[in-house]
Amino acid sequence: MSPIYIQPNNFVDYLSNQQSYYLFLDIDGTLADFTLDPKDSVIPRTTLTILQKIQDYGVKIAIVTGRSLAEARQMLSPINLPIAATHGLEIALDGAENSNDTCTLHVDSAALTAIRQSIIESCMSYSGFAIETKPYSVALHYRQNPALADVACTIMSETIKHSAKWTLKHGKYVCEAVPKGVNKGTAILTLLKEVRASDNICPIFIGDDITDEAGFMAIQSQNNALKKPQQSARGMGIKVGHEPSCAHYYVNNIDEVTVLLQSFLRFFQQQNISDFESIDTDCLLPKDVMRHSI
Ligand SMILES: O=P(O)(O)OC[C@H]1O[C@H](O[C@H]2O[C@H](CO)[C@@H](O)[C@H](O)[C@H]2O)[C@H](O)[C@@H](O)[C@@H]1O
């Protein structure tokens, strides 16, 4: 089934005040526009402000990205959010800069060094490749010269062909060597396990790339392996762009993601206003508090 278009400005219409939400966000192609050099990418200040405001309403937000943890933190600064980085290989549960609450899968550093060196040597005779070396993976970018797509795939496949514990992840103009056993789906489920069962959470994941498909599948699945019935509410997968996707919904581009996030924020602002709707002018308490104190 093809994804259904969400009018980003009307995203509030898809939300219910009987439900709590956990927003999972990809970075590149979702929050940050593409650039030739990955180091030039930024998440616009306006987007960061919207995320901060949503978080201030107590809504859970986490980042699920192929970027390394250090880079993701830098791009999100000054906001602190839980981050599943390097496709879920590094997970920082509480988002604080110097937090010890970070799990990282064991990575064979000798194998990583050998893979990195082999890629560098194989690319020497080509112009238009950019090699991104991350703490636990190596990405070969060909955005500067898309004609190198097949060469990039061949170089990367050859490089890891004797490394049984490594695999390739393909993305937009990039092919990346990553240790086996991680994907955005398991990363999201790991973060969801931290949530209290009683919270009746509906996860929403927004992403644009092939690696995001595992995330869409995980949150849209009825039986999402959490083994807590209260948490098995079907989530919403929202694809950014028109490529085939298993996400149930889509928006057209990054600008529409921003509009959708604004609409999401408006939902909580409106909820907040309605909580104060019937005010006791003597004590100015929200409805809920008054109800409990009667
Ligand atoms: O999971 P994401 O947050 O979407 O990260 C995926 C990869 O994003 C970056 O590469 C992409 O963005 C670059 C900068 O715009 C662009 O040059 C490249 O073509 C894209 O594939 C990042 O550099 C990778 O490390 C991430 O894995």
pLDDT of residue 222: 62
Task: Delineate the domains of the chain, giving CATH numbers in brackets.
Answer: 4-102+182-274 (3.40.50.1000), 109-179 (3.30.70.1020)
Angle among Cα 160, 189, 209 to the nearest 5 degrees reads 55
Residue 234's pLDDT is 81
Please write the tens of the pLDDT for every residue from 228-261: 444 444 899 999 999 999 999 999 999 999 999 9
Q: Which of 108, 110, 152 is nearest to 128 (CA)?
A: 152
How far apart (Å, rounded) are the C-alpha atoms in residues 56 and 272?
Answer: 12
Record the pTM: 0.90
- Of 89, 174, 176, 209, best ligand 1 pocket probe by most atoms within 8 Å of the beta carbon: 174
pLDDT > 90? residue 35: yes
Per residue in 196-207, pLDDT tens?
Answer: 766 789 999 999
**Which of the four pLDDT bands, split at 50, 70 and 90, describes residue 276?**
low
- Which of 187, 135, 132, 186 is closest to 156 using CA atoms? 132
Atom of ligand 1 nearest to the CA of 33: 15
The most confident of the ranges 49-53, 99-103, 234-238 is: 49-53
Residue 266 gets which letter from DSSP?
Answer: H
Buried b / exposed e over 216-252, threshold 16 CB at 10 Å, is bbbbbeeebebeeeebbeebbbbbbbeeebebbbbbe
Whole-number mean pLDDT of the chain? Answer: 89
Residue 130 has pLDDT above 90, yes or no: yes
Give a three-class secondary structure readout of 62-100.
EEECCCCHHHHHHHHCCCCCCEEEHHHCEEECCCCCCCC
Helix (H, G, I), strand (E, B) or coil at 23: strand
Confidence of residue 292 (pLDDT cuts 50, 70, 90): very low
Atom of ligand 1 nearest to the CA of 209: 4
User: What length does the chain have?
Assistant: 294
3-state class (DSSP) for residue 167: strand
Q: Tell me: ipTM over 0.85.
A: yes
Radius of gyration of the chain, Cα coordinates, nearest whole angstrom? 21
Residue of minimum CA distance from atom 14 in ligand 1? 38
Which is more confident, 98 or 119? 119
